[in-house]
Chains A and B, each alone.
Chain A
Amino acid sequence: MTELTVAFTLNGRPCEVRTAAHRTLLEILRDDLGAMEVKEGCGEGVCGTCTVLLDGEPVSSCLVLAPRAAGCRVTTVRGLGDGDRLHPLQEAFVTQGGVQCGFCIPGMIVTAYAFLRDHPAASREEIRRAIAGNLCRCTGYTKIIDAIASAAPGRGGGAPGAAGG
């Protein structure tokens, strides 16, 4: 079994994992680095629950082999806020009632963050398309779309994704 060392940054913090080459990014995040904020919903790349940003782009971490993360920036939902302050998207999910069981939420917010960063004035229909790869079984999506739309900086929501990240 080929073992290798994979080094990357997790939410800005450098880390290094010694791992078998066939393990996934999701496995090393949860099992080796204790990044329990990344959830596993299906393990087959369908539900979007395990979404993280790899160099800023959303990926299903269950489909990414760990060595692929070498030298990359990995960002989870915990990397979006600014220290003690929540990211406006996180706040919008709370105030708009976009959270029920919450299991899909870390992946959903990460997807929404990357989308709003690139499409700060997105319409509801564009947001609806953007989250089609993130399943939610509780909310029926309406309040999730409400939350994302209300946080869109181009619509007055002020998600700082547009400014920097």
Chain B
Amino acid sequence: MRTSWWPGFLIGVIGVQIGGWLLASGNIEVGQPFPELVLPRLGGGSPASIAEFRGRRLMLHVFASW
């Protein structure tokens, strides 16, 4: 959430780091299905997974409010 405050070079470093992790982990990878994870919904309700949103294009943000 605070990337806009970061110096540009730091964004680049983190970006490379994220990309490296993504390629290295095999967990989140372009061309692969999103991992099956069942998680609580913010605000309560039944458990949810990203698979529930299949059928329409999805933009998924993995983030923190800080």
Is the A/B pair a real complex? no
